Amino acid sequence: PHKVLMFPFEQIPFTDQKQEFNRPPTRTVRSMSQSSTDSFASVHSDTSDDESSPRDKLQKSTKGPSDFCIKNISQADFGRKEIEMAGREEEDLRLKRAGGEKPLAGAKVVGCTHITAQTAVLIETLVALGAQCRWAACNIFSTQNAVAAALVKAVFAWRGESEDEFWWCIDHCVGTETWQPNMILDDGGDLTDWIYKKYPELFKNLKGVVEESITGVYRLYQLSKAGRLSVPAMNVNDSVTKQKFDNLYFCKESVLEGLKRTTDIMFGGKQVVVCGYGEVGKGCCAALKALGAIVYVTEVDPICALQACMDGFRVIKLSEIVRHIDMVITCTGNKNVVMREHLDKMKNGCIVCNMGHSSSEIDLAGLRSSDLKWVHVRPRVDHVIWPDGKRIVLLAEGRLLNLSCSTVPSFVLSITAATQAMALIELYNAPEGRYNKDVYLLPKKMDEYVASLHLPIFDAHLTELSDDQAKYMGISKHGPFKPNYYRQVNFSLSRRQTLTHILTFNVSNPFCFLL
C-alpha cells in the first residue's frame, strides 16, 4: 500500500548579508540562525555546500549512473521518511489495484506537477498500478529536494531552478529516444505546450491529457476551440472535489502559513486586497478575515462579486484602494492583474504575492526595469526599491506562494490525487471512440465516490434515502445526487463535456481502484 504524507514545518534560514541586483536573485551560500540549523535537513532547505547546477553533474545512484537529474541523492533516506510520516494522517486512503490486475500496465505517464511528498505518493501509486513514469516540476520553487531524491528514477527537478533549467528539465523528461509517453499528467499546461511545440509527433501515440490547474485548462480549451487539440483531455480542475476541497480548503490553510514564514506579519487590522473571488480567493479571504484583517475583493464576474458582498467583503477596483493597502494577493489565474502603475502607487512596505498557478498575474517585467533595485533578504523574499527609497515586499518572485514558501496539508491533496489517478485510468482504458478530441469534465458519480472514500477519516455516517424518497426526487438512492452540470464553478460551461460514457461506476467496476 502507498500512503499520502505530510511533512514537518521548516525553519526558514535568514541571510546575514543582503544581495543587490536588477535581475532575478542568484543562489548564494547563506549562514543560518540556530533554529534554521536545527532543521537543516528539512525538505525545504535552500542551503547546500554545492551550489552548482545539477544538470552540470553526472547523476549517480547506488546502482550507478541513472536517467534522472536531482539536487542531492544523499537526501533520499530523509525524503523516504517524509513520505512515510505523512501516511499517518491518511493511512486508510490507499490506492490499490483491484483483483490482482494492473489497469495502467503499459501506460507511460509523463508528468509535470509540484514535486512534493504528496505527489510522490501519487507517482508511486501509478507505478504500482503498472505505469512507467517520468516527472518534472511545474514550479521552480516548490520541489522538495529530499522527496525528489527518494523518488530518484526518471525525475528531473530541484528547488530553485532557473527559468532555463526549468525548460531543460521538461525537455529531458520528454525528449528521449528510448521512452515515449502515451499519457500526460499536467499542472499548468507547460508540459503539454512544450510537447505541442517541440515534439508534436508524440501525440500520435498519446491517449490523453489530464490537467489539474485553471491555467492549464484555459490552454486546453483554447486548443479545442481552435481545432488543434490532438487527443482527449480530462479537466480535473473543474471537478467538484478539486474546486471545493483543494482550491478552497487547501488555500485557506496554507496562505497564512506562507505569509507568516516569509514576512512574520501580524494580520490584525491590516488592509488586504484579494484579487479574484473564486474558490482560491474565497479560501484566502476567509482565512485573513478570521485573523482580523480588513479584506477587500476585486472581481470581474458579477456573480462572484455578489458572493463576496454577501460574505461581508467590499468589492472595489484595485486602483481605488491601492495607495492604502498593506498587502495584495492575486488569485485569478489570469495575467496582468497587478501592473507597474499599481505598484508605483503602493505605500512603503506593501506585500505583493500570488496564489494563482502562474507568475503572470504580477508585472514582473515592470519590476525588473533599470530604475528599480532588488534586495534579496530571505529565501523567496525580495525587496524592490524605488528611487525615492520606497520598497515593496515581493514573495516567491510572484510564483505560487503556498507551495513555494510553506508546507501544505496532505489530506486535502489526497482528494485531488485520487481524482487524477482515476482520470488517468479512465482515459487509458477507454475504448476507441469513447472520447473525441475535446475537453471533458468528470461525472458527478466519480466526484461523489472520491468524497465518500475520505469520510471514514472523520467517522462520518451518511444518511441513506429510502426508496420512496429517491423516487420522489427522481434519483437513484445510491447517487449521483447532483446532475452532471452541477459544478459550482465560476465560468461558463460552454464546449465542456462530461464523462457520460463511464460505466455505472460502482465498486464492482473492475476499473475502480480506490478501495
Q: Which residues define the annotated binding site? A: 116, 187, 212, 242, 246, 278-283, 299, 402
201 within 8 A of 216, measured Cβ to Cβ: no
The CA distance from 40 to 42, in Å, is 5
Going by DSSP bridges, is the β-strand pair 439-441/497-498 parallel, antiparallel, or unpaired? Answer: parallel
DSSP reduced 3-state for 317? coil
The CA distance from 457 to 453, in Å, is 9
The residue type at 65:
P
DSSP reduced 3-state for 84? helix
User: Residue 271 phi/psi, 5° resolution?
Assistant: -95, 120
Cα 47 to the chain's mean position, in Å?
Answer: 24
DSSP reduced 3-state for 383? strand
Summarize the annotated binding site for substrate as residue ranges.
116, 187, 212, 242, 246
The CA distance from 55 to 69, in Å, is 6
400, 445, 465, 473, 474 from 468: Cα distances, Å: 49, 21, 8, 9, 10
User: Residue 213 phi/psi, 5° resolution?
Assistant: -115, 155
The CA distance from 256 to 39, in Å, is 21
The CA distance from 510 to 447, in Å, is 18
The residue type at 71:
K
What H or E segment, with its residue span, contains residue 321? helix 318-321
Going by DSSP bridges, is the β-strand pair 108-113/19-21 parallel, antiparallel, or unpaired? Answer: unpaired
Summarize the annotated binding site for NAD(+) as residue ranges.
278-283, 299, 402
